[in-house]
Structure 1
């Protein structure tokens, strides 16, 4: 009787449409590494202020933001971008007015020779940073993958699609269903990306990731 009740609830249309959204990841994490150390440079900048407010101040603030980024040690590599570029650490503005061995022992002639030595050893520094970054990514992937709950769909399966802001009926408010459909799986380019069509054969214009889908019973 308990098994019959479970199957009955599983096939309940309303239960499926108003069911909760699974928060656990549905696919294992695939890390992407550069083909060789320092093959590419990039920075992601998130602007939290409104664009109109930032137009006047952003060009003035950008050099300071970039300087802070370049002289801050990154967790994956254990090094600063400045050192990975020039082979030595930069003297940051706050150090200029502070007495330190680095400043007191500075000799321009010797300094030039040391900079050349650092540049000669730079490939080794970058290789070590690359190894640390590989280990860091592996740890992140292991942590992420422990939480994964794999889901697989086959061609012909009926699925529900997560209701998005664009498809939500604003008149229903909190009573709006969580899922819509059903749709039929007609093709997949890889296990987490599926092409769908309506039950009357109208194909949806783009593929959908498995995290936005669930099987309809």
Structure 2
């Protein structure tokens, strides 16, 4: 036991006060008590408990040691204060004592209070019982070794105590005022988002606070956590371009079984016939492209195109993939899909890589048409030739031309007729029967060519996956997580130039296997469309 006695008369006519507290933790068990004289003198008592006990038992032990100390000093009037509601109200007989371990403690205290003329028990919040709490915590600690003492002295050498104010001494001998938890919170709020706050990141905040002359031991970690949880910093945070999941590829098993659809435009200036849009489709297997120009790509135009230029020419596809535009998602399109038993899939909003084949074809067709156009208004006349050029060019992903994968032979180019090529000359020498047999042979071998294109496509996709997956950083979300959603360009936001990059928070309602998520607002209302994980980020509170 350790007892510190301040100078002064222990015998006073007025009431004394006793503050007690017990501590039981993984390090050990200890008790602390403080007797306070009517003149304001403090007499602290600490004791380490060498037996296992619960926290309530430690509280009773602290109360007993304090009362016995008061009895030893012949104190007759005592006010007892503790932050354990259970102990205080059991001693006041307001709560029933049911734990067998505590019954004997209560009985002993009731015997000890017979020594007093007047004794009362009062509950005190923990924040107002800090001294006894600190004594109990210190008493519960294990005995420091010589090495621990040297370490503590070395750490204490960096601090200076001036009256009641503690200062931290920097390496350049500048003193920083040490602040408590309440003051630290106020400093964080003022420096980060106060009147002159810059919403700086955690590391910058910590350096700013030190420049202002303040310090506490967990300053940098507290700054990082505060900045990370700031709502404004989160919604105005930079967009994330690092992929959160590996690349998953889509494959088409055979020609014309899966088509991708998209619209190029509006194109300015208009074509001479008033057209402003190009509607394009691409077969995922052969990379064959069909396209037509329109003044407006209406749902009627799309449904007619789907029936006349896809179904009637190449047969009924198994599925089509489009974005979320209204002219590609409406009752007319759904009617056509239902009629021909076609599955209609949508890509995630503003996620072009979801339908990458048609996006790549759009890019290439725009380049070809742009280079062919002469007056910038005749592009609609050049579109068929651009399609012909695209179909007769070798595609990297298949290692063959779309024309050869569809017809089993290469197309004859205009230059081969103007300057006769060996292929044209050899075919001219064939009579009709021989030419027909030659075409039969080509068609019989087309399956081998298509199987080779499949192998080339698989190897190409593998290369793309390896390159893409080198950059991705896993980001997994679970049901109930709070997230922010990227604000898409199509959304109207009234803050104009000061528009944030993210909105929310939202709650993850359902998480699927390949990064797709269904989000809900905080009131439980689900968003209409699923969203990919690369368009959201975690929200910290």
- Determine if the TM-score, normalized by the shorter chain, exceeds 0.5: yes
C-alpha distance after superposition, 1:65-104 (max 9, x if no partner): 4322322211111111222233221211121111332233
C-alpha distance after superposition, 1:130-172 (max 9, x if no partner): 11111111111111121112211111211112223455533x3
Which residue in 2 is equivalent to 1:11? 229
2: CA distance, partners of 1:44 / 1:187: 28
Decide which moves more: 128-137 or 189-198: 189-198
Decide which moves more: 97-106 or 74-83: 97-106
Q: 1:153 aligns with which of 464, 468, 477?
A: 477
Decide which moves more: 186-195 or 175-184: 186-195
2: CA distance, partners of 1:59 / 1:179: 40
Q: 1:207 aligns with which of 522, 527, 530?
A: 530
1: CA distance, partners of 2:264 / 2:518: 34
2: CA distance, partners of 1:198 / 1:44: 31
Which residue in 1 is equivalent to 2:430? 108
Which residue in 2 is equivalent to 1:195? 518
1:40 pairs with 2:252: no
C-alpha distance after superposition, 1:180-213 (max 9, x if no partner): 2212222224452222233333333333321221
**Residue 19 of structure 1, CA deviation:** 0.6
Which residue in 1 is equivalent to 2:508? 185
In the alignment, structure 1 segments of 5+ residues that lack a partner are none
8 Å contact kept, 2:252–2:258: no
Which residue in 1 is equivalent to 2:161? none
1:126-165 map, 5 Å: 126-165=450-489
8 Å contact kept, 1:160–1:180: yes
1:199/1:66 CA distance change after superposition, 3 Å: closer
2: CA distance, partners of 1:39 / 1:195: 32
8 Å contact kept, 2:391–2:403: yes
Which residue in 1 is equivalent to 2:249? 31
SS at match of 1:160: strand
2: CA distance, partners of 1:169 / 1:32: 34
1:163/1:38 CA distance change after superposition, 3 Å: closer
**Residue 32 of structure 1, CA deviation:** 1.6
SS at match of 1:64: helix
8 Å contact kept, 1:168–1:176: no
In the alignment, structure 2 segments of 5+ residues that lack a partner are 1-217, 277-293, 296-377
2: CA distance, partners of 1:60 / 1:123: 35
Which residue in 2 is equivalent to 1:21? 239
1:179/1:47 CA distance change after superposition, 3 Å: closer
Which residue in 1 is equivalent to 2:396? 75
Decide which moves more: 127-136 or 178-187: 178-187
1:27/1:73 CA distance change after superposition, 3 Å: same
8 Å contact kept, 1:195–1:206: yes
**Residue 44 of structure 1, CA deviation:** 5.7
SS at match of 2:275: helix
Bigger CA radius of gyration: 2
2: CA distance, partners of 1:207 / 1:102: 53
1:203/1:87 CA distance change after superposition, 3 Å: closer
TM-score (norm 1): 0.83
Q: Which has the higher contact order (CA 8 A, sep 6+)?
A: 1
8 Å contact kept, 2:245–2:474: yes
TM-score (norm 2): 0.36
1:94 pairs with 2:94: no
SS at match of 1:53: coil
1: CA distance, partners of 2:425 / 2:405: 25
8 Å contact kept, 2:243–2:471: yes
8 Å contact kept, 1:87–1:119: yes
2: CA distance, partners of 1:87 / 1:182: 55
